[in-house]
Structure 1
Amino acid sequence: MKQARIDIVRAYDALDADGGARFLVDRMWPRGITKASLHLDAWLRDVAPSTELRQWFAHDPSRWETFIQRYCAELDANPAAWQPIADAAKHGRVTLVFGARDREHNQAVVLREYLARKLAHR
């Protein structure tokens, strides 16, 4: 089986026409973006960090390591939330779309690594 390719892209950036299956992985819709412009396969609100975790993190890089641990625990507790992405990744390229300004410290970065580990063990 070939390695799954999971990309991440900010909702405000130009999207690759061949990005495969596209999933918005934010709990809230990105401001000023139309649904048509994202060409999504699905908006998976439940795969995003809980509101409590998102508000606690507040994109503060000093909380990054703890955020990763807490978010991965949430993902472990809710496999149904990320299963559509894992299923799509088995068939080809997947793009996780996020709205955060910080490209290095956001849930899509964590989710991509989390899914890569899950898919490698299958």
Structure 2
Amino acid sequence: MSIRIRRVYEPPEPEDGVRVLVDRLWPRGVSKDAARVDEWPKALTPSTELRRWYHAGEGSYEEFAGRYEAELAAPEAAELLDHVRELTRKGPVTLLTAAKTPEESHAAVLKRLLG
């Protein structure tokens, strides 16, 4: 099982496998052709409220991660998480995000939960 996190702005690589965009909003300045996204499960992304709270600097990354994990327990998000987990059993999966620091983003939480 291979799960990677990459910025969506980086060019696709053959070892990416299935490319899953894990941001709720389409990244600015990236065409759909250039991004080569295979799946975009929007219900798997943090809620708008949680995203705004975190980006406003109102809480720590650890608190954000806990709140995001709670959101992922909702039925639709849990089903999508299982779907992506199933993809990882078939081959490599790359989680794509526009986050400037992917290691402290929701993509890192997803990677941990999928692994």
Q: What TM-score results when the alignment is normalised by the length of structure 2?
A: 0.90
Distance 1:85 1:24 in 2: 11
Q: Which has the higher helix share?
A: 2
CA distance in 1, matches of 2:38, 2:94: 10
Query: Which residue number in structure 2 is paired with residue 17 of structure 1?
Result: 14
Task: Confirm or deny: 8 A CA contact 2:3 2:92 kept in the other structure.
Answer: yes
Gaps of 5+ in 1: 117-122
Following TM superposition, by how much is the alpha carbon of 1:80 offset from its aligned partner in structure 2, in angstroms?
A: 1.5
Cα distance in structure 2, aligned partners of 1:59 and 1:15:
31
RMSD: 1.6
Q: For structure 2, which runs of at least 5 residues remain unmatched after alignment? A: none
Aligned residues: 113
Choose from 32, 36, 41 the match for 2:38.
Answer: 41
Structure 2 residue matching 1:104: 3-state secondary structure: helix
Q: Which runs of 4+ in 1 moved over 4 A?
A: none
CA positional deviation for 1:103? 2.6
TM-score (norm 1): 0.85
- Residues 72-111 of structure 1: matches in 2 within 5 Å? 72-77=69-74, 78-111=77-110
Contact 2:9 2:35 in 1 (8 A): no
SS of the aligned residue for 2:14 comes to coil
Does structure 2 conserve the Cα–Cα contact (< 8 Å) formed by 1:25 and 1:96? yes
Structure 2 distance, partners of 1:60, 1:52, is 13
2:109 paired with 1:114: no
User: In the TM superposition, what is the alpha-carbon distance from 1:6 to its structure 2 partner?
Assistant: 0.6
Distance in 1 between residues matched to 2:95 and 2:107, nearest whole Å: 6
